[in-house]
Amino acid sequence: MTAQQPESDNFGPAPPRLDTYLSSRGISLRYGRVHVPDARDRKYRLRVSASARTSRYWRDDQWTGDQGDRSSCVGFAWKAYLTSSPVSQLKRLDPDGLYELCKHRDEWQGESYEGTSVRAGADVLKTLGLLSEYRWATTLDAVVNAVLELGPMVVGTDWHEGMEEPDSEGVIHLTGDVLGGHAYLLTGVNTRRQLFRIRNSWGDDWGQSGRAWLSFADFRKLLRADGEACRATEVKV
């Protein structure tokens, strides 16, 4: 029997306003992923077997997004998910429009704020009939095996100063202060090098044609700091 998706309209007591919630925690409104932990997500963990592969890179060059100065990274991350292999569809989906729909759907009152949640993006796509179910990977091993066997994952994590620009080898680092929350896409993994490949939403001029590498060690720390990794179990195209 397929487990049912948790009810998306009931998140318990919601913060009165997102901007109040963020400012009380010293989080910049410049970055658009915001996360309030929900214990019910634990019931909907992604189940994936250990992979025998050591690396895999999903095609992610069919669409490149640039969110500019907007806090719409969640919309751009889910659009990138739908346009990357193995889905490779829905190139006409507007990521900014998706972001605005997320603000109707997310955990916070009103719409006159910046940012939204990864969960809201998945809920909106489910409401639009573009996916039927989604699940969360809560450990490093689960994320690695999911990318190796199933495909990319939308992740939302803190974003540190050392992640702003990749180094000479294209790697971003978990150093410096937390600038805010950011959503992006994991599109590849290399277990021998202990690296994920990420697709960002800051255009082709950022990093290596819009991509960078993130170490397993740093990603594990990001997950433990209320990071999240999500993917659809069935996409309708």
pLDDT at 234: 77
pLDDT at 202: 94
Domains in the chain, number: 1
Kindly state whether residue 11 falls inside one of the protein's structural domains.
Answer: no
Kindly state whether residue 63 falls inside one of the protein's structural domains.
Answer: no
Identify the weakest region by mean pLDDT among 19-23, 46-50, 109-113, 209-213: 19-23
Look at the block and give the residue holding tokens 């990977």: 137
Domain that residue 106 falls in:
52-57+70-235
pLDDT at 43: 77
Look at the block and give the residue holding tokens 């969960």: 119
Kindly state whether residue 36 falls inside one of the protein's structural domains.
Answer: no
Q: Which regions of 153-227 does DSSP assign to beta strands (E)? A: 153-160, 171-172, 178-190, 195-199, 211-215
Q: Find, among 120, 154, 159, 116, the residue nearest to 137 by Cα.
A: 154
Kindly state whether residue 175 falls inside one of the protein's structural domains.
Answer: yes
Kindly state whether residue 134 falls inside one of the protein's structural domains.
Answer: yes
Residue 178 or 42, more confident: 178
**Model confidence pLDDT, tens digit, residues 134-170:** 999 999 999 999 999 999 999 999 999 999 999 999 9
CA dist 23 and 202 (Å) reads: 24
Other C-beta atoms lying within 10 Å of the C-beta of residue 167? 11
Q: Is the pLDDT of residue 12 over 60?
A: no
**Model confidence pLDDT, tens digit, residues 103-137:** 877 765 655 556 788 998 998 999 888 888 999 99
DSSP H or E segment with residue 135: strand 131-136
Kindly state whether residue 149 falls inside one of the protein's structural domains.
Answer: yes
Residue 115 phi/psi, 5-degree rounding, is 100, 165
Q: Is the pLDDT of residue 198 over 80?
A: yes
Look up the CATH number of the domain holding residue 167.
3.90.70.10
Helix 73-83 / helix 95-105 crossing angle, nearest 10 deg: 120
pLDDT at 2: 38
Q: Is the pLDDT of residue 36 over 80?
A: no
Q: Is the pLDDT of residue 16 over 50?
A: no
Kindly state whether residue 95 falls inside one of the protein's structural domains.
Answer: yes
Confidence label for 211 from pLDDT (cuts 50, 70 and 90): very high
pLDDT at 102: 85
Confidence label for 22 from pLDDT (cuts 50, 70 and 90): very low
Q: Is the pLDDT of residue 173 over 90?
A: yes
pLDDT at 11: 38
Other C-beta atoms lying within 10 Å of the C-beta of residue 66? 15
**Model confidence pLDDT, tens digit, residues 73-84:** 999 999 999 999
Kindly state whether residue 212 falls inside one of the protein's structural domains.
Answer: yes
Per-residue pLDDT, averaged over 34-50, amounts to 80
* Tokens of residue 135, six digits: 């699940």
pLDDT at 27: 46
Mean residue pLDDT of the chain comes to 84
Confidence label for 41 from pLDDT (cuts 50, 70 and 90): confident
